[in-house]
Amino acid sequence: MAYALSLDETEKSILRVARDQLDGAVEGLKHPSDPVEAVHDARKRIKKSRALLRLARPVMRPRAFRATNRALRDQGRALSGARDADVLVETVDALADRYAGRLPKANFDSARGRVRRQPGAAPPEHDLRAVAAAADDWPVGGVKQETLVRALTDTYAQGRQAYRAAGKEPTTELLHEWRKRVKDLWYQQQLLKRLWPDVMKALAGQAKSLSKLLGSDHDLGVLAEELPPDSPLLPLIADRRAELQHDAFALGARVYAESPKAFRKRVRGYARAVA
């Protein structure tokens, strides 16, 4: 099933997409030919499910939303350890490719060995099957097109606020918070692409590009924390992070150019046009 909502039966569509994403995560982890890719795919599906859930948040009771979101979050965290270690190895590899010749190969090999997972590590524990089954009972009754517009605007406003906070103080933590809100915006624009396919696809593409920039920066920040303070890789990491953050803020200025009020008015216009 496509990761997109039907605009004429939104409640049923939310439940169908949620179950499709979470069932896909369960199946992928059963007997994976590539365990690393399976964990990556499962985590991505959980994040997409959380972004979907946030579109229904305006009609959900706060306690119900928090419980459902917490269940999804906990499953993502259960899978995070194995994937995070693999990402750090990939980050070292990307750094070695970009700065080939700047340092002896042994420096990159040393960093790679420091962050690599131990072979034969136990697979992550999870209970995704129960969480997937529970998606049939998400309390999303009453979701209308205006609900979706409101929720998307809330996501946009939160991202804009996080963009400004990171601009004032670009710490790894604040940049990561911004990235999470950007990723929500990307996924939700995908979900609502039927409001105006060409436009929503273009907007989602920009949010995706921004998420990738911030993700690469975050991975480098985490890698820097794992290395000793005298690591010769740290100056390279600092240079690359400066480049990525420059590009991220330049793109972020375009993604968040509108006020939330103007953004909501524009998206509401799309919704009314297809009503």
- DSSP one-letter code for 103: B
Coil, strand or helix: which one is 100? strand
pLDDT, one tens digit per residue, over 123-142 is 455 689 999 999 999 999 99
115: Cα within 13 Å, side-chain hemisphere: 26
Please report the pLDDT score of residue 120 as a whole number.
Answer: 44
Predicted local distance difference test score (pLDDT) of residue 251: 98
Cβ-contact 56, 47 below 8 angstroms: no
Q: How many helices (H) and strands (E) does the chain have?
A: 10, 0
Q: What is the mean pLDDT of residues 73-80?
A: 89
pLDDT digits (tens, 9 = 90+) for 195-209: 999 999 999 999 999
Tell me the C-alpha distance between 123 and 121, whole Å: 6
**pLDDT score for 32:** 87
Q: How far apart are the C-alpha atoms of 186 and 191, rounded to whole Å?
A: 9
Q: Percent of the chain scored above 90 by pLDDT?
A: 84
